[in-house]
Structure 1
Amino acid sequence: MLNHDSTAALPPADHQPVHLENAILAVLARAPAETLSAPEIAQVISDAGDWHTLLMPIRRAAVKLALDGRLIIYRKGKPVDPTDFRGVYRLGLPRHD
């Protein structure tokens, strides 16, 4: 399981899209076989403790990363169309097996 207290070597989590994309990928790379929710990712990359403000930027970044083929968005355990999903979702790295 991912350790949320360990933030060493994470890129800065400011709201700039590229930095946020890199931070999301870095968190997912720590446990590549796992999927994580947006709140789980936000809690890891938030340096101010107010991770709620990161939820919409994470969603936007996740859609872009999914469209680029760099991550997968899951809903109810199944990959979804990044341009058409609602509700609770999880993020994971593409599997190469």
Structure 2
Amino acid sequence: MTTPIQDTILSQLAAVAAGKSIDPMSVAKAIEPERWQRVLGHVRTNAVELAREGKIVILRHNKPVNPEKFRGVYRLRLRQEGDPTSFEEAADEGGEE
């Protein structure tokens, strides 16, 4: 069972071309247009859960990252063939810019 935030993430990802990613800010704005900043933390938490379930991939610098260890700016994409199958295979991206 998914949450309303997870449903919004998945529906936005379904609406973009295969292989394209979305900005978590667009998810937050879809949920709470006037106070979207307050929702960003919840979007992140729900995105991490979807990544753990293998439904999506969290990207930093356009590369899949470990959803348990990433920091900083990120994007979301549906899982594709060739994506890491375990968290250990995903980059352990810190917050370096």
Q: Fold match, TM over 0.5?
A: yes
TM bracket (short chain): 0.7 to 0.9
1:27 aligns with 2:17: no
TM-score (norm. length: structure 2): 0.74
Which of residues 24, 46, 67 is equivalent to 1:61? 46
> Is the Cα contact below 8 Å between 1:32 and 1:92 reproduced in 2?
no
Q: How many residues align?
A: 80
RMSD of aligned alpha carbons = 1.7
| 8 Å contact kept, 2:32–2:39 | no
TM-score, normalised to structure 1, is 0.74
Report if the CA contact (8 A) 1:75-1:89 is conserved: yes
Pair 1:50-2:35 in alignment = yes
Unpaired segments ≥5 residues, structure 1: 1-16
Q: State the identity %.
A: 35
Amino acid of the structure 2 residue aligned with 1:69: G
Higher alpha-carbon deviation: 71-80 or 46-55: 46-55
